[in-house]
Structure formats: C-alpha cells, structure tokens
Structure 1
C-alpha cells in the first residue's frame, strides 16, 4: 500500500512539471521555423530601377549640363536633329549661320529638347531676357537664383531669336567672316567672342557635329558633297531631303520598332538591296528616316 502511494505521488509531480513547460520554441531549429519571413526576389533575378528613357541596341546615354541637368540617349538626339534640321538649314540660308552649329548648340543648350527651359518655355538656347526683351518670360535658376529667361510660343521662334541674337550683336560680327560651312572656326569663335564661358564649349560643339554628322546639313545648303565622319549615324542626301514631306509611294518613313528586315519583308525586297538603294553602310535606322523601297 505504501509503495502505491509513493508511485502515485511521483506520477502527480511529473505531470505537474510537464504542464508548466512553456510552449514557445526555444531550440535554434524551432526558432528558425517560427521566424517571420520577408518577401525576397527569386534566385537569379535582380531588381532594376525603371529607365527614364527608352534604350535600344547601340543607344548610348549621356548627361548634358546646360541650364539644367538632362539625361539623354543617342536616339533622342537623332530624333531632335530630325525635328529641327529644316529650321536650322533655313536659318543658315537666311542668316549665314552654319546649320551644324545651330543644331549642335540646340542639342547642348536644351538637352536635346528635354531641358527645363525647352519644355516650359520653348527656349532651346538658354537666351536670357536682357533689357530689350518685351515678350513673355520665365524664372529659372542659372548663374544666379531665379533669373529671367525668354519664353516663346513655339520652338521655331527660339531658333529665329538665336539667329537674330548672333546677327544683331557687334561682338559676334567676326563669326560671319568665317566660311558658312567651317564649323570648327565657328565653334572656336563662339567661345572667343564670349558666347560661353566653358573652355570646353568648342570641343563639345565639334563633338556633336561629328558624332551625329550634322555637317551634312551645311553641305545640303552649300551644295558641296559630304563624307560621313561617323558611319553609324544616319546620313541623308539632298535628294531625300527635298522629298521628305512628299507622299512619294517609292519612299517609306521609318517608324518606331522598324528594322531593315521588317521593312524588307513589308515591301518584298532583300535587305542588301534595301541598303544599296539607300547607301546604308550598316543596319542603323532612326525614326522619321526616309527610305527608298521601290
């Protein structure tokens, strides 16, 4: 009887100890299982920031620092040139300023049309109000805080005002003694006349002119032949320029997403024949480019 009482007492004590043990996992293995999980990317996949501008093969990106800091791609610059080349050539004929210089300055001063002043005021050359300006204006931080800059109803007015600005200032008179197509002399002359304080300004203009074959537009105005410096950039002949606004069924305007292969299939023509018809040395195309397809 005494042994039974002892046995029952031991069982009661053991049962009490078991019920008082905590239920929270204490081992490292159990703690790891109960640890909250956070969302993670799949293995081999990394997150990337959304690109500000679209990118294509061989489409380089650069930062242009003018009146605002602007990130642009080579495609954007090519499209800018296509949009304003006719205005630049028209101003060359009227005012004697090389079209290549006008376009290079437009690219540099406006961030290829993506800078703050170009977007908000159609001001592509960073021209400030000055005392003789009677038109609309905007305020923008530049050398000083909230300086006065000219505002135009459309970009073409900015291009015209840029030409008048150079023609009307005595300090730029020496520029017009240079050849109309001497873009290197004009680039260096602008700096020497005080148009820009940046010592690298001439080199920047020359770089844009040669990288994007802007001198071809000088040659279209003067009638001289042109040899491309940058073989990868599009070059357009005078004949293609003269019919650029026509509805010629023999021409096709390059659209976004087009390739030489897709165009060749559309018009049932070999890629090599297409390149030969248009004097293309590679497969590079730009939006708005006119191609002979028949």
Structure 2
C-alpha cells in the first residue's frame, strides 16, 4: 500500500518536492506501525473473548484515528466508549472525561458533548471492548456470527454507532489493510 501511495503522488503531481514525498511516506508509515502494534493486542482479545481480531483492529483504527485522536492520546480510549453516566465509567475504566462528538440519531447528525471512558492503559481499553461486546445485550446478535468478521461488525454496528455507514467503513479498513490476517 505504501508504494501505491507514493507512486500515485509521483505520477499525478506535476511538481514534486521532497517534503511532499516525505509526508506521504510518513503518513503511510504510521498506519503500518499502528496495525503492527494493535494486531497482537487484538489477537489477545480474540483469545480471551472470541471476538474477530480483524474487527477489533479496524474499529480501533476508525474510533481512534489510528491512535491519534485526542480521546486515544489523552484518555487511552481506542473505541469511543462512553460512560454509563457522567460519573460511572464501568468496571475497567478509571474515570469519565467530557468531549465534543457528533451523533446521528436522531437525524440529522449534530454536535453534542458526551462523557467518555478514561483508561489506565491501552490494553485496558481493548479489554473493555472485548468485555462489553460479549456481555452487553446490545451485541448479543453478533456473537453467533463471530466467525464471519463482516457479519459480526454488521450486527455490532446496529447498536455500536449512530453512523449508518459504520459497518461499511470498518469492512473497508479490514479489506484495505488486510486485517483478516489477524483472524488466523
């Protein structure tokens, strides 16, 4: 994937400067680095909770902007999990923090402030993801299809996100970055 991005830059850009090439290489590099770091954690979550690792990595990419979102950098929240109440972070998170977000239910999409879970570590964030998906009745319909990552995320997405394209976005990430390799 990295070579395609650089080749496209070289072919379609009439004026090439070193900063543009360097920027394209660095942008591609953080993605591979993130997948390389998240993959083993997702495999551990699969071993503990039987959740498709490909879906875990793809959702963490989408929810954390490759680990670069303010929520993931400051609060170690890689899945966008909200608190049960402003003062109830759940059994794994350590506290709640207020952040602006966008909700699409009810339609149309609109900005709101919400309270999100704060974790002591990245593995805690991933562990809470596995725990929540396997214990919440919201995701019970996904569990019988956990051997099919596409069907699993389609079932999860019904309750997980307000974005109607959420499942398609996760599947595109799984396809684009060959994330199903973590399921074997």
Q: 1:16-72 CA distances to partner (integer Å, 9 max, x unpaired)?
A: xxxxxxxxxxxxxxxxxxxxxxxxxxxxxx9x9x77x9322xx7xxxxxxxxxxxxx
Q: 1:188 aligns with which of 154, 167, 178?
A: 154
Largest Rg, 1 or 2: 1
Matches within 5 A, 1:250-261: none
* TM-score, normalised via structure 2 length: 0.76
1:98: Cα distance to partner? 0.2
Partners of 2:55 and 2:66 lie apart in 1 by 14
Deviation track 1:224-250 (CA, whole Å, cap 9, x = no partner) reads: xxxxxxxxxxxxxxxxxxxxxxxxxxx
Question: Aligned residue for 1:105?
Answer: 59
Aligned twin of 2:125: 158
Structure 1 residue 191: Cα displacement: 2.1
- Structure 1: give runs of 5+ residues left out of the alignment: 1-45, 60-72, 220-294
Contact 2:76 2:118 in 1 (8 A): yes
**Distance in 2 separating the partners of 1:179 and 1:102:** 12
Give the Å deviation of 1:74: 3.3
1:195–1:54 Cα change, 3 Å = same
CA distance in 2, matches of 1:75, 1:179: 30
| Distance in 1 (alpha carbons) for counterparts of 2:146 and 2:89 | 30
Structure 2 gap ranges (5+) = 1-14, 103-110
Q: 1:174 to 1:145 in 2, by over 3 A?
A: closer
2:170 aligned partner: 205
Match of 2:138 among 171, 177, 192: 171
Which of 78, 85, 103 lines up with 2:39 in the alignment?
85
What do you get for the CA RMSD once the two structures are aligned? 2.1
Q: What is the CA distance between 1:203 and its match in structure 2?
A: 1.1
Does residue 140 of the first structure (1) align with residue 109 of the second (2)? no
Q: Deviations over 1:242-291 (max 9, x none)?
A: xxxxxxxxxxxxxxxxxxxxxxxxxxxxxxxxxxxxxxxxxxxxxxxxxx
- Offset of 1:217 from its aligned partner? 0.7
Match for residue 31 of structure 1? none
1:202 and 1:146 map into 2 onto residues whose CA distance is: 24
Contact 2:50/2:146, CA 8 A, preserved across alignment: no
Over residues 176-211 of structure 1, what are the superposed CA-to-partner deviations in whole Å (9 max), with x where a residue is unaligned? 10143x11101211223x111212111111111011
Query: Comparing both structures, which one devotes a greater share of its residues to helix?
Result: 2
